[in-house]
Amino acid sequence: MRFQDQTIVITGASMGIGRALAIALAARGAKLALAARSAEALAETVQLCEAAGGTAIAVPTDITEPTACQALIQQTIQTFGQLDCLVNNAALSMIAPFEQVQDLSAFEQVMRVNYLGAVACTYYALPHLKASQGLVVAISSLCGKTGIPTRSAYVASKHALQGFFDTLRIELRGTGVAVLVVSPGFVATGIRQRALNSQGQPWGDSPRDESRNTQSIAACVSQIVRGMERRQREVITTPKGQLLTWIKLVAPDLVDWLAVQATLPLSPRRS
């Protein structure tokens, strides 16, 4: 896939991986429709994309509302006349031991953002992607491949995302539409600072040590762009993550132990 004059929708484009990916694709000549809830943050991303040489519009969108997802795709088509790629990137995390969770509605909130929002966006984008023989990208996580303590809501949503897009890939065989699932590990995006705690409120600061075993946004985005160019079916963005998927086949208990080590420390007081 080449990005010059290709129309690409990116959800969760106001910060983190979404913003960095938008800028990287803008530098390659893409036409971007950028979605997130914050109109102000989206406007900043649009300015950065235009400075990088691309064309971009901001479409403030709450992807937990299917009608908003439909409007996002409609506005993209009205503006650019086509759709070549959809990047489902918007995400919300939750960090709390399950037994300490006090508000189960937080599980529904995480599932609506991470899974059902991606399903809705893909549903409305698919006819246009079939017309262009385009690409669907799901930014998942290593949490979509294995359990992680204190992340039960997030892990469940990413397992659902992985299963949905693996199934969709099979259903779309012969249509010319490619499906790419990206599985980063810990990336320095700020998602854990915004993650919900056991009361369903944002943590405010990360409960893990972000100075260790954390991939940079730039390194992660480089892997995503490469996977999109090659229309790969899967990208695991770190060698350690790639290794873990194989270790799980032969030593699953070891993977469980490694998952515990990777998420320490978590303060019980603030969980």
Domains in the chain, ordered, with CATH? Answer: 7-270 (3.40.50.720)
| pLDDT higher than threshold 80 for residue 130 | yes
- Per-residue pLDDT at 210: 58
Q: How far apart are CA 70 and CA 54, in angstroms?
A: 24
pLDDT category at 80 given cuts 50, 70, 90 is very high
Q: Comparing C-alpha atoms, which of 162, 150, 259 is closest to residue 213?
A: 259
Task: Report the mean per-residue pLDDT for the chain.
Answer: 91
| Residues belonging to the active site | 154
User: What is the torsion angle, in degrees rounded to the nearest 10, for the CA atoms of residue 140, residue 214, residue 194 and residue 121?
Assistant: -20
- Per-residue pLDDT at 241: 81
Residue pLDDT, tens place only, 242-254: 887 888 787 888 8
| pLDDT higher than threshold 90 for residue 198 | no
Neighbouring residues of 51: CB distance < 8 A, sequence distance ≥ 6: none
- Per-residue pLDDT at 266: 47
Residue pLDDT, tens place only, 96-125: 999 999 989 999 999 999 999 999 999 999
What is the share, in percent, of the chain residues with pLDDT greater than 90? 72
